[in-house]
């Protein structure tokens, strides 16, 4: 990768298409721009986005990767061993990691500034990664391991076109010309998986750590369903044939030329190992029956499917360690096509074919155990994929054959993990931790300061069938203003990373100039460990009743009002004066009618009439009379109403 | 929207299932295989889940334990297997953190058309959901093998989902049972590339669950859906879930929704009269002011009361009314929907049921799917009076509070009376020349008099605890009919009572003077203990506390030695005596049970063993009602009887 000589700026655009076993198509866009950072131009570039170069220079970023993902990579049917899944399958939401070339004490500050810059650049809430509770510093389990690494994820970040547009702005032709024309928003967001990634590498020139060159790789991986599938479902005979597709049918657009600024502009079609093996098998059967001898040379030019355009080159994977055959790559150069004759690759299957993608040695899944709001447990279960037996068979005969698995897991602080409760089960038998875990690094979480980080190296026997790790946790309580807006949904635990350092996801093609020229193919040849992400988890925590403060305020105000009202009333009232006032009033009001009535009632009761002796009594009598009057009137009204309706 | 095409697919599955039934495969593995194949055809992940039948054993130490601590039994055999089939649709653009569960119980051994139809409905919804793009949560479809009961299958699956065991001591694998092996040759589906797996598949935190059943034989005149919501210990799912189902069923699909009612109440004349009074009152009020709308019709009133009574009864029982109860144990909102189709047998009706039921399920799933948060906004504590009406906790707690409010007041007044009476009698007897010293002594004795009664009350409660533990011993006796078990229980209880009484409670050798007021003190302490018991129970299971309070509060308040009443001889004391006797009879738990059962089902079907069976179901389901009866209600009744028979 090191570009020793002073290079001019370069831009390459490539697209890789790959049929997937479950009737879907993978499209992987790969754009690479590189620039040398010299002060000769005064910090200006021809092609390279200036924002990125400024960012690299300012924060001294050595390597950085930012990915926006929607949907999940289906490791079981889309494969987990090839370079594409192991470097492009990302957890849902935003993932950001960066390596800095600054002294230890400045790293956190650089990271925080970087998150804010990226947040502005990509219209995303990456700035939430600023808080120390959201990012962590893995020591060695994350593959580009280095002490200056910071890693953070936002599992709940929604990905949309507003994140894609700034990403496209970094390309010299945007989506106006070249392969990027295919990026039709409705079709790429209709897919089953959508991951947009930005990878930065800067190469220092040694002295004073000055940045001399930057390589910016922008990839977009989408998994799409060809449209023709539904129509074909009706016919039973067609159901077994994989759907045929073309660029127009999956993207609704076609390539009408290259981006003129691009140095190379290629489209590749990749048939993975399983598919090739299956095709070869079918081919052999055909050969037996038909006896018309294809040689292995023209097998690839007359395969069981039809391409609308002739490939310019065919690459066959050179060294397949695996029994499974080797993958085949067709190369199409877009330069040959123009506005009048647009490039529209289409693939039509002729015979039904069923294959399986190559899996990572172990399939990892993670889930929560337990119920209730008090405690729970996280379990990581690793299941052997039977397919891996083939390439593990070579060294499986040894007595001590180990399969190394690295686990990296970040847990937010409110999920209080008890690291002593770690349990390991291999083949459904509990094992001592020291037997299985070779190396472990734990940094416990600090409340409201930092998340808990667990890094582990597991040594499992090669013939392992299943393994499981469980670790218990208590659910913590948050302060009321620490709850996110949708607190009742639950809280996310970001994906764990499972990597297999003994296995390298690489495809080595025949040594050729053209392979080295293509950034995508040279990327494939890099030896990177197989990696997979587990599911993000959702932990329901206790949430307070958020309307409670309102209720409390209301009831407190009511109580205060009652208290102060009555207190003031008592303080202000002069009792004696009031009584005197009432007396006067009563004396005035005892008219003749009341006297008559009281006399009458006294007669009716057969007692001697007493004149109203005490004014309070008479006042109560008046009140009773008033009430009586009111009732009488109301009764009359009721009767009136009832009678006339 | 669920279209005819999905209904056709559902119908195809129904036909396949019913025809495979005709072939009568012995283990029913064939139908499981058909269902799994259909799931795979849709591109869903299909897997099977094997489980063992777990018998409910009463174990006193495990009473309050969480459902995960199931006792592992070693000697499983192939015959005691159940096989659940699970299909999962992953939301295409979702992050897989949440899931919605759809359960259809299915007994492959003897399934009727109803069960096949419920699977058909679920399948047509499933086939729709495998194509839609709006899915944000994964969908799990569980075909629960209900050969050992619907609840057992669902709870076994949930147990393995929530609290799996990684170290399996019981080494029984699929290899040992040849039937299950047959399932594995399903392998990979060539069309969709989806795989069949025998390992347990998971999909995130469950947001809500729906259990779907279709009853085949029904005599309804219109398509009806009945909703069952009660889980163990009277827990209810969030009211919003019931509201969603009710709204969609009534306003979208035109189905008739009902919840369980006490049918015998519908014909009771006094309720009708009460309802008519309310109706006429409401009419008068409406004629006065058209804006006053508190009047309800008599039939509505009667139906509401019947529904409320049944809601109260099922909550008080503390037993789940369907497989949805298993979900509530893990704090997942779930209800059971039972579709009762209009009586008909032609095929057209089937597709109509599939269409309407499917659209209802689709609507509910879509509503839950669109929720960002789990259900939390609405009520969890309520009693239903109709599918769309309810009584919330804020309303029904008032009635209960008013019911038990007199208890502490009466207890306090009795205590004060008894102690002052004691002092008075003492001071009357003692000569005026008695020194102040003895007077003070008597006061201290008098103020500690209640300890004696408290001891008695405590002992009776201890006896109650012993009585509620006895069934554990009786269970160990093999081959016991319910009647004999009940008899043994009664005998052992009485024996233990007599032993306790003779050993511990004999020193009732207080002075004659203190005996006069002793009953008052006992009553006071009893009432306070009942108050505490009811208050605690109202937190655990309100309905139980409510029904218990209805029986116990009048009994406690009225209790008075019969001798005193006989001595008084007035009409008032005589009627009180009669009331005491009747209450003493009714409030005895078995008597109350038999009376209630007789009133509901007719007295012909009542036998002694029924009570044992009822109690057995209570402790088998870890119902707190059992503890309440054993440790609050029964001691209270014994103490009241003690007061009634007091010699003073």
Span B53-98, pLDDT tens digits: 766 666 665 665 544 444 444 445 566 678 888 999 999 888 889 9
Mean per-residue pLDDT for A417-430?
89
Sign, CA dihedral A525-A528-A532-A536, equals negative
State yes or no: pLDDT of A483 exceeds 80.
yes
Tell me what the mean pLDDT of segment A38-48 comes to. 74
Look at residue A110 in the predicted model and tell me its pLDDT: 92
Q: Closest Cα to residue B103, out of B382, B332, B373?
A: B332
Query: Does A20 lie in the same domain as A107?
Result: yes
Pairing assessment for the beta strands A10-19 and A264-271 based on DSSP bridges: parallel
Q: CA B554 to CA B543: how far, in whole Å?
A: 17
- Out of A539, A564, A597, a domain closes at A539
**By mean pLDDT, which of A148-152, B17-21, B165-169, B268-272 is the weakest?**
B165-169
Instruction: Provide the CB-side half-sphere exposure for B120 (13 A, CA).
Output: 30
Hey, where are the domains in chain B?
4-18+27-54+77-165+175-260+321-376, 261-317, 394-423+439-504+512-645
Mean pLDDT score of chain A, rounded to an integer? 82
A192 and A65 in a common domain: yes
Q: How many separate domains does chain A show?
A: 2
> Given an 8 Å threshold on Cβ–Cβ distance, is B192 in contact with A23?
yes
State the pLDDT at residue B434: 45
Angle at A483 between CA A482 and CA A488, to 5 degrees: 165
- B90 in reach of chain A (CB within 8 A): yes
pLDDT, residue A3, reads 41
Identify whether residues A98 and A189 lie together within a single domain. yes
Cβ pair A96, A152 in contact under 8 A: yes
* Burial track B467-497 (b if 16+ CB lie within 10 A, e otherwise): bbebbeebeeeeeeebeebbebbbebbeebb
The overall average pLDDT reported for chain B is: 81
Please compute the mean of the pLDDT values over residues A291-318 and round it to a whole number: 67
pLDDT over 90 (residue A638): no
- In the predicted structure, residue B245 carries a pLDDT above the cut 90: yes
The residue-averaged pLDDT of B300-309 equals 90
pTM equals 0.85
Residue A5 lies in a domain: no
Say if CB A332 and CB A269 are below 8 A apart: yes
- Tell me, yes or no, whether A529 lies in a domain: no
Interatomic CA distance for residues B12 and B221, integer angstroms: 27
Instruction: Provide the pLDDT for residue A117.
Output: 94
Asked if residue A316 and residue A404 are part of one domain, the reply reads no
In this structure, of B252-261, B378-387, B439-448, the range with the lowest mean pLDDT score is B439-448
- Among the candidates A476, A509, A539, a domain finishes at A539
Mean pLDDT of all residues in A234-244: 62
Cβ of B444 under 8 Å from any chain A Cβ? no
| Distances B645 to B525, B552, B572, B634, B639 between C-alpha atoms, Å | 17, 18, 19, 17, 10
- Distance CA(B309)–CA(B301), nearest Å, equals 12
> Do A122 and A161 lie in a common domain?
yes
Provide the pLDDT for residue B178.
53
The verdict on A277 and A366 lying in the same domain is no
What's the CA gap between A168 and A259, in Å, rounded? 13
Range of weakest confidence among A112-116, B146-150, B203-207: B146-150
Instruction: State which H helix or E strand residue B84 sits in.
Output: strand B81-89
Residue A413 located in a structural domain: yes
| CB-based contact B95 A383, cutoff 8 Å | no
> How much is the pLDDT for B128?
92
Strand segments (E) across A7-52: 10-19, 25-36
| pLDDT tier, A234 (very low <50, low <70, confident <90, very high otherwise) | very low
CB contact under 8 A, A369 and B164: yes
Q: Which residue of B94, B162, B373 is in closest CB contact with A370? A: B162
Q: Which residues of B touch A538 (CB under 8 A)?
A: 97-98, 204-205
Rounded distance between C-alpha atoms, residue A56 and residue A123, angstroms: 19
Q: Given a cut of 90, is residue B566 above it in pLDDT?
A: no
Nearest to B288 among A93, A428, A641 (CB): A641
Candidates A22, A470, A487; nearest CB to B43? A22
In this model, does residue B175 exceed pLDDT 50?
Answer: no
Structure tokens, A566: 């009555």
Rounded to 10 degrees, what is the CA torsion of A454, A459, A465, A471? -20
Using an 8 Å Cβ cutoff, are B106 and B31 in contact?
Answer: yes
- Of the listed ranges A237-241, A520-524, A613-617, the least confidently predicted one is A613-617
* A233 in a structural domain: no
Given this model, what pLDDT does residue A411 score?
Answer: 93
User: Please, which pLDDT band fits residue B172 given cuts at 50, 70 and 90?
Assistant: very low
Q: Is residue A585 part of a domain?
A: no
Domain membership flag for residue A268:
yes
User: Would residue A552 count as lying in a domain?
Assistant: no
Q: Are residues A276 and A152 in the same domain?
A: yes
Nearest chain A residue to B42 by CA: give it: A233
* CA distances in angstroms from A493 to A66, A143, A297, B586, B636, listed in the order given: 19, 21, 51, 56, 51
CA distance A570 to chain B (A): 31
Which of A475, A506, A539 terminates a domain? The answer is A539
Q: Which residue has the higher pLDDT, A176 or A239?
A: A176
Q: Report whether pLDDT(B368) > 90.
A: yes
* pLDDT tens-place string over residues A26-36: 999 999 998 88
Confidence (pLDDT) at B614: 85
Residue B429 confidence class, pLDDT cut points 50, 70, 90: very low
Range of the domain at A140: 10-40+47-228+241-282+301-349
* DSSP summary character for residue B10: H
Mean per-residue pLDDT, A525-535: 86
Residues 6+ apart with CB under 8 A from B624: B233, B318, B537, B540, B541, B544
Is pLDDT of B205 > 80? yes
Edge-first strand order for the sheet with A193-204 is: A135-136, A149-154, A93-100, A61-70, A193-204, A211-224, A25-36, A10-19, A264-271, A328-333, A313-316
Residue-level pLDDT at A591: 64
CA dihedral B172, B174, B177, B178 (to 10 degrees): -160
pLDDT band of B123, cuts 50, 70, 90: very high
**For residue B162, which residues of chain A lie inside 8 Å, CB to CB?**
369-371
Torsion of CA B104, B107, B110, B111, to 10 degrees: 10
* CATH class, range B4-18+27-54+77-165+175-260+321-376: alpha beta
Residue A154 domain-assigned (yes or no): yes
**pLDDT attached to residue A453:** 92
Same-domain check for residues A335 and A381: no
- Interface membership of A369 toward B (CB under 8 Å): yes
Q: What pLDDT band is residue B548 in, cutting at 50, 70 and 90?
A: very high
What does the H/E/C string look like for A561-622? HHHHHHHHHHHHCCHHHHHHHHHHHHHHHCCHHHHHHHHHHHHHHCCCCCCCCCHHHHHHHH
If one compares A524 and A221, the residue with the highest pLDDT of the two is A221
Considering the domain architecture, whether residues A318 and A366 belong to the same structural domain is answered as: no
Whether A314 and A332 have beta carbons less than 8 Å apart is answered as: no
Among the residue ranges A446-460, A469-483, B233-247, B434-448, the one predicted with the least confidence is B434-448
Q: How does pLDDT run across B339-351, given as a tens digit for each residue?
A: 988 766 666 778 8
Inter-axis angle of helices A615-644 and A575-589, nearest 10: 60
Q: What is the pLDDT of residue A285?
A: 75
Across the range A281-303, mean pLDDT stands at 59
Percent of chain A residues past pLDDT 70, beyond the cut: 83
Model confidence band, residue B121 (pLDDT cutoffs 50, 70, 90): very high
Count of pairs with CB atoms under 8 A, one residue in A, one in B: 113
Closest among B118, B104, B99 to B161, alpha carbons compared: B99
Name residue A200's beta-bridge partners.
Answer: A64, A216
A642 and B66 in contact by Cβ < 8 A?
no
pLDDT at B426 exceeding the cut of 70: no
Phi, psi angle pair for B266, to nearest 5°: -65, -30
């Amino acid at each position: 990768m090191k570009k020793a000589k002073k290079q001019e700026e370069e831009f390459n655009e490539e697209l890789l298409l790959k049929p997937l076993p479950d009737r879907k198509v993978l499209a992987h866009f790969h754009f690479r721009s590189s620039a040398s950072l010299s002060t000769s131009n005064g910090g200006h570039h021809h092609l390279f986005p200036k924002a990125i170069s400024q960012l690299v220079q300012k924060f001294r970023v050595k390597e950085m990767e930012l990915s926006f993902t929607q949907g999940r990579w289906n490791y079981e049917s889309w494969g987990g061993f090839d370079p594409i899944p192991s470097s492009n399958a990302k957890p849902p939401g935003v993932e950001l990691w960066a390596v800095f070339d600054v002294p230890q004490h400045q790293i956190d500050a650089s990271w925080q500034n970087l998150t804010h810059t990226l947040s502005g650049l990509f219209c995303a809430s990456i700035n939430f990664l600023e808080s120390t509770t959201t990012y962590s510093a893995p020591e060695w389990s994350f593959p580009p391991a280095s002490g200056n690494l910071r890693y953070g994820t936002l599992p709940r970040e929604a990905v949309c076109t507003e994140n894609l547009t700034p990403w496209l702005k970094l390309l010299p032709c945007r989506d106006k010309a070249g392969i990027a024309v295919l990026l039709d928003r409705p079709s790429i967001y209709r897919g089953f998986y959508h991951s947009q990634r930005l990878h930065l590498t800067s190469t220092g020139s040694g002295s004073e750590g000055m940045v001399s060159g930057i390589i910016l790789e922008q990839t977009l991986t989408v998994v799409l369903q060809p449209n023709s599938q539904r129509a074909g479902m009706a016919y039973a005979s067609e159901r077994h044939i994989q759907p045929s597709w073309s660029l127009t049918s999956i993207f609704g657009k076609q390539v009408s030329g290259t981006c003129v600024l691009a140095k190379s502009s290629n489209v590749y079609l990749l048939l993975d190992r399983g598919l090739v093996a299956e095709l070869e098998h079918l081919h052999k059967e055909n050969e037996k029956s038909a006896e018309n001898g294809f040689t292995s040379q023209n097998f690839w030019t007359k395969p069981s499917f039809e391409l609308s355009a002739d490939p310019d080159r065919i690459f066959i994977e050179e060294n397949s360690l695996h029994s499974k055959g080797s993958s085949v790559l067709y190369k199409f150069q877009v330069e040959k096509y123009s506005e009048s004759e647009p490039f529209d690759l289409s693939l039509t299957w002729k015979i039904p074919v069923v294959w399986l993608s190559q899996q990572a040695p172990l399939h990892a899944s993670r889930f929560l155990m337990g119920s209730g709001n008090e405690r729970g447990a996280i379990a990581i279960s690793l299941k052997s994929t039977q397919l891996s037996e083939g390439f593990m068979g070579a060294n499986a005969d040894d007595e001590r054959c180990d399969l190394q698995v690295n686990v990296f897991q970040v847990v937010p602080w409110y999920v209080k993990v008890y690291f002593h409760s770690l349990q390991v089960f291999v083949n459904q038998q509990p094992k001592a931790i020291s037997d299985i875990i070779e190396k472990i690094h734990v940094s416990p979480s600090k409340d409201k300061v930092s998340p808990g980080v667990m890094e582990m190296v597991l040594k499992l026997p090669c013939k392992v069938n299943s393994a499981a790790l469980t670790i218990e946790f208590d659910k913590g309580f948050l302060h009321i203003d620490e709850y996110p807006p949708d607190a009742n949904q639950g809280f996310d635990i970001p994906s764990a990373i499972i990597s297999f350092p003994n296995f390298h996801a690489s495809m080595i093609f025949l040594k050729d100039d053209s392979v080295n020229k293509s950034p995508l193919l040279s990327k494939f040849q890099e030896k990177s460990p197989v990696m997979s992400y587990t599911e993000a988890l959702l932990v329901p925590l206790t949430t307070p009743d958020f309307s409670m403060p309102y209720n409390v305020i209301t009831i407190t105000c009511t109580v205060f009002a009652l208290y102060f009202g009555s207190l003031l009333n008592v303080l202000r009232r002069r009792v004696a004066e009031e009584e005197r006032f009432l007396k006067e009033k009563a004396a005035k009001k005892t008219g003749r009618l009341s006297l008559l009535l009281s006399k009458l009632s006294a007669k009716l009761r057969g007692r001697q009439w007493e004149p109203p002796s005490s004014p309070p009594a008479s006042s109560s009598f008046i009140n009773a009379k008033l009430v009586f009057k009111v009732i009488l009137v109301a009764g009359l009204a009721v009767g009136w109403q009832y009678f006339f309706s | 929207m669920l279209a005819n095409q999905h209904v056709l697919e559902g119908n195809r599955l129904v036909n396949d299932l019913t025809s495979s039934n005709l072939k009568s495969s012995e283990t029913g593995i064939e139908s499981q295989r058909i269902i799994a194949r259909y799931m795979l055809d849709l591109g869903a992940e299909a897997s099977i889940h094997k489980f063992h039948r777990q018998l409910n054993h009463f174990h006193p130490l495990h009473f309050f334990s969480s459902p995960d601590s199931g006792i592992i039994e070693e000697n499983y055999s192939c015959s005691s297997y159940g096989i659940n089939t699970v299909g999962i649709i992953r939301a295409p653009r979702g992050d897989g953190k949440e899931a919605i569960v759809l359960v259809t119980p299915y007994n492959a051994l003897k399934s009727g058309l109803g069960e096949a139809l419920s699977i058909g409905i679920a399948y047509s919804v499933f086939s729709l959901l495998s194509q839609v793009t709006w899915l944000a949560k994964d969908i799990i479809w569980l075909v629960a093998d209900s050969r050992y009961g619907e609840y057992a299958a669902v709870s076994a699956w949930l147990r393995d989902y929530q609290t799996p065991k990684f170290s399996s001591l019981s080494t029984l694998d699929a290899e040992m049972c040849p039937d299950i092996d047959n399932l594995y040759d399903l392998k990979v589906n060539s069309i969709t590339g989806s795989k069949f797996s025998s390992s347990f598949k998971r999909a995130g935190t469950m947001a809500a669950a729906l259990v779907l059943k279709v009853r085949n034989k029904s005599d309804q005149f219109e398509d009806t859906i009945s909703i069952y919501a009660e889980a163990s210990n009277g827990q209810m799912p969030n009211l919003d879930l019931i509201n969603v189902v009710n709204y969609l069923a009534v306003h979208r699909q035109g189905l008739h929704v009902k919840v369980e009612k006490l049918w015998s109440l519908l014909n009771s004349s006094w309720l009708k009269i009460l309802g008519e009074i309310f109706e006429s009152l409401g009419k008068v009020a409406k004629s006065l002011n058209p804006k006053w709308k508190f009047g309800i019709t008599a039939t509505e009133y009667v139906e509401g009361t019947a529904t409320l009574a049944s809601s109260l009864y099922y909550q008080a029982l503390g037993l789940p009314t369907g497989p949805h109860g298993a979900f509530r144990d893990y704090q997942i909102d779930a209800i059971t929907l039972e579709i009762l189709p209009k009586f008909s047998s032609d095929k057209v009706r089937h597709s109509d049921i599939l269409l309407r039921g499917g659209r209802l399920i689709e609507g509910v799933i879509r509503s839950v799917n669109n929720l960002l948060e789990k259900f939390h906004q609405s009520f969890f504590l309520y009693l239903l009076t109709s599918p769309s009406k309810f009584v919330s906790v804020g309303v029904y707690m008032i009635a209960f509070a008013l019911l038990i409010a007199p208890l502490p007041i009466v207890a306090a007044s009795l205590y004060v009376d008894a102690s002052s009476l004691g002092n008075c009698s003492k001071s009357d007897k003692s000569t005026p020349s008695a020194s102040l010293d003895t007077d003070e002594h008597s006061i201290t004795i008098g103020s500690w008099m209640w300890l004696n009664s408290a001891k008695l009350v405590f002992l009776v409660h201890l006896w109650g605890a012993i009585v509620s533990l006895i069934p554990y011993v009786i269970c160990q006796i093999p081959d016991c009919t319910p009647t004999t078990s009940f008899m043994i229980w009664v005998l052992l209880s009485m024996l233990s009572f007599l032993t306790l009484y003779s050993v511990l409670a004999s020193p009732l050798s207080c002075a004659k003077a203190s005996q006069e007021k002793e009953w008052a003190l006992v009553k006071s302490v009893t009432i306070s203990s009942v108050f505490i018991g009811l208050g605690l129970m109202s937190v655990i299971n309100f309905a139980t506390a409510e029904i218990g309070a209805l029986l116990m509060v009048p009994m406690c308040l009225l209790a008075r030695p019969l001798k005193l009443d006989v001595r008084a001889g007035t009409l008032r004391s005589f009627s009180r005596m009669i009331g005491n006797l009747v209450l003493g009879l009714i409030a005895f738990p078995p008597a109350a049970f038999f009376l209630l059962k007789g009133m509901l089902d007719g007295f012909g079907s009542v036998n002694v063993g029924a009570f044992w069976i009822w109690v057995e179901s209570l402790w088998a389901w870890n119902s707190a009602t059992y503890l309440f009866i054993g440790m609050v209600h029964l001691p209270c009744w014994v103490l009241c009887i003690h007061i009634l028979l007091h010699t003073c």
